[in-house]
Amino acid sequence: MPKVSMVVNGEAATGEVEGRTLLVDFLRGSLRLTGTHVGCDTSQCGACVVHVNGEAVKACSIFAAECEGAEVKTIEGMANADGSLSTIQQAFQDHHGLQCGFCTPGMVMSAAALLKDNPKPTEAEVRHYLEGNLCRCTGYHNIVKAVLAASGQEVGGAAVAAE
């Protein structure tokens, strides 16, 4: 089988893949980075979002072979160097932006990509950006709060409208 090489969370990663192997299957199956979840396998739920060369990508929508030479970041690479939670992760914890946690890795990766491009998004911009990330538990309210908090914006009281 052909080999693919990429940099995942700052470390070189090489593996054999079939042409049809999805990036999410390479990450989970070959590299055992199971924090990236599979909710649908059809590009609808966003549970599999990772960063490829700095862009948020649904890892079920791209072949591993397409990522030859790419820089990939998964939820396992999001913590700070000392192991503490990153700002966006801490905000999800502080604002209860999760319940079962299944969608959370994808939410965090999408939110981090949003804040990179738009450091102070409005509530509407957060909701629009996260349209491709589905959550069956939280009702989204606290997820939006968490993203706004991670951007340093006030989220107390009625600052964020309920769903």
- Interface positions with ligand FES (CB under 6 A): 38-41, 43-48, 58, 60, 98-104, 135-138
Whichever of 131 and 154 has its CB closer to ligand FES, that residue is 131
Please give the structure tokens belonging to residue 59.
């890892």
- Strand, helix or coil at 128? helix
First to last CA, the chain: 49
Least distance (Å) from ligand FES to the CB of residue 60? Answer: 3
Least distance (Å) from ligand FES to the CB of residue 106? Answer: 7
Least distance (Å) from ligand FES to the CB of residue 24? Answer: 6
Whichever of 56 and 148 has its CB closer to ligand FES, that residue is 56
| Sign of torsion over alpha carbons 47, 50, 127, 139 | positive
User: Does residue 111 contact residue 61 with C-beta atoms inside 8 Å?
Assistant: no
Alpha carbon of residue 43 to chain centroid: 13
According to DSSP, the residues that pair with 55 across neighbouring strands are: 52
Please give the structure tokens belonging to residue 124.
């509407």
Least distance (Å) from ligand FES to the CB of residue 104? Answer: 6
Whichever of 41 and 94 has its CB closer to ligand FES, that residue is 41
Least distance (Å) from ligand FES to the CB of residue 30? Answer: 17
Whichever of 47 and 72 has its CB closer to ligand FES, that residue is 47
Report the greatest alpha carbon distance in the chain: 56
Alpha carbon of residue 70 to chain centroid: 17
Whichever of 116 and 136 has its CB closer to ligand FES, that residue is 136
